[in-house]
Amino acid sequence: MTVETTGPAAEIATLDATGQAELVRRGEVTPLELVDWAIQRIERLNPLINAVVTPTYERARTRARAVPEGPFAGVPFLLKDLIAEEEGVPLSSGSAFLRDYVSGHTSELVRRLQAAGLVMLGKTSTPEFGMVPTCEPARFGVTRNPWNPDRSTSGSSGGSAAAVASGMVPMAHGNDLSGSLRFPASACGLFGFKPTRARVPLGPQYGDMVNGWIAEHAMTVSVRDSAALLDATAGAEPGDPYPAPAQAGPFAAEVGTDPRRLRIAYTPRTAGGELGHPDCVAALMDAVTLCAELGHDVVEADVPGLEQAGDAIGTIFNATLAWLIGSWIRRLGREPGPHDLEPITRVSWEEARGTTGGEYLLAVERLQVFARGVAHFLGEVDMWLTPTMSEPPAPLGQIVSTPDDPLRAYRRGGRTVEYPAVVANITGNPAMSVPLCHNADGLPIGVHFLGRFGAEADLFRLAGQLERARPWADRMPAVHASRH
């Protein structure tokens, strides 16, 4: 499918956020022009891919007219419709349960994004409460993958990934409980980066979430955008329960610096010990070869203890859902009605309410022991490399539950994410999905690097080196704003 569009709105769509900000700094375009052109792209493409569910165009135009300052002055941006709040804007988390909720405060992250000069154009779609690896919520409908509109974007930041991949905006917000920044980045051919635990604050509503598993950041086309954005948002907020390790310097400065010779462990096997889809294994081995050609040492090895972590991970997810729905019951002052939750969410919530505090703390204890093993493993190597996903993007409609089979989406979705991206959430370590490969059908297949705790600089240096060796920005999906 080719989307026809012409003029500056289309031309700008080929630039990353840093490139668009440079045009503003040079006086070649105004923030309002950037915003209006992005709105044109969204209005043209959104009927095809359904990425944006809550537009805030007039707020954006008002802000753009005020000539925002910051490293990304005037650059259009989208927020994922989960966790991050902007005062006066609806937040739904993809659920009918939140249908009347309008945020009464602005998250600290959003304040920092605004201080960086970004202009929010609206909210992007997410599965209900971000709980499955596809973006097909009953409330807003299917979000389509720009590379093939019959395929999933994965999840739960799938709306943001589709918006960036299609050229609506150069980068967009996402968050990550067990891979939700990295899975959609892989499925949509983007760079997806999960920072170290506590690098980006979650206040004022939250101190840490799910024992520090949840991380906030963005999906971008370029590595330099991701690094510069993290520079703009990183740093503890007063009252945070703990800080991330201090940065040695700006992350943006790391991108153009070649890394030292790294020792990179890799495995083609999933958490269950099986090989992933052949396309994903091929992408991994291609990345292994490329890293070796760039002078790094690569060795096949696996993190220890994965097979013992599964039950504890399940307990954490149960406790998370019980907390999440319980938190919204308290905030909204009412229980979910019979049509307020999707079948998978209701059944899972009813089961999750049986999880005790003791069971949760036992799971935390087990996983902290596991995390120590990972830390020792990463004392012997610098990074751990796997495919990001265990299958190419799934056909739409497969990772969906029904009233008769409410857990179907978990079973089918789980088969797409069998490589343990969740290790980065358990340990708090930084991780990234890098879009180095496509399969024979033209679908993106990402590869995943887990770094040492606090070592974002190493990941950004390697990512920049990989981007220079194997550029990906010029490869456009079937649905993209730049196509004429």
Average pLDDT over residues 281-301: 98
Q: Tokens for 58, please give them.
A: 């007039």
Specify the pLDDT at position 484.
40
194 is catalytic: no
Question: Is residue 123 annotated as a catalytic residue, yes or no?
Answer: no
For residue range 318-338, list pLDDT tens digits in order: 999 999 999 999 999 999 999
CATH topology of domain 8-469: Amidase signature (AS) enzymes (3.90.1300)
- Antiparallel, parallel or unpaired: β 431-438 and 191-194: antiparallel
Question: What was the pLDDT predicted at 88?
Answer: 98
Give the residue-averaged pLDDT of 49-73.
96
- Mean pLDDT for the chain overall: 96
Could you report the per-residue pLDDT of 217-246, keeping only the tens digit for each?
A: 999 999 999 999 999 999 999 999 999 999
pLDDT mean over 187-206: 98
Distance of CA 189 to the CA centre of its chain: 12
Which is higher by pLDDT, 53 or 4?
53
Per-residue pLDDT at 5: 52
Q: What is the pTM of this model?
A: 0.97
Residue 109, helix vs strand vs coil: helix
Write out pLDDT tens, residues 354-401. 999 999 999 999 999 999 999 999 999 999 999 999 999 999 999 999
- Residue 65 reports pLDDT greater than 50: yes
Given a cut of 70, whether residue 4 has pLDDT beyond it is: no
Looking at the predicted structure, is the pLDDT value of residue 3 above 80? no
Instruction: Report residue 49's pLDDT band, with 50, 70 and 90 as the boundaries.
Output: very high
- Return all residues near 460 (Cβ < 8 A) that are at least 6 apart: 223, 226, 227, 251, 254, 255
Q: What is the pLDDT of residue 7?
A: 83
Q: How far is CA 476 from CA 4, 138, 480, in A?
A: 14, 29, 7
Region 194-213: what's the mean pLDDT? 96
The CA angle 468-469-472, to the nearest 5 degrees, is 70
Residue of 93, 125, 156, 482 with catalytic role: 156
Q: Which of 180, 390, 401, 433 is catalytic?
A: 180
Q: What is the dihedral of CA 52, 236, 381, 288, to 10 degrees?
A: 20
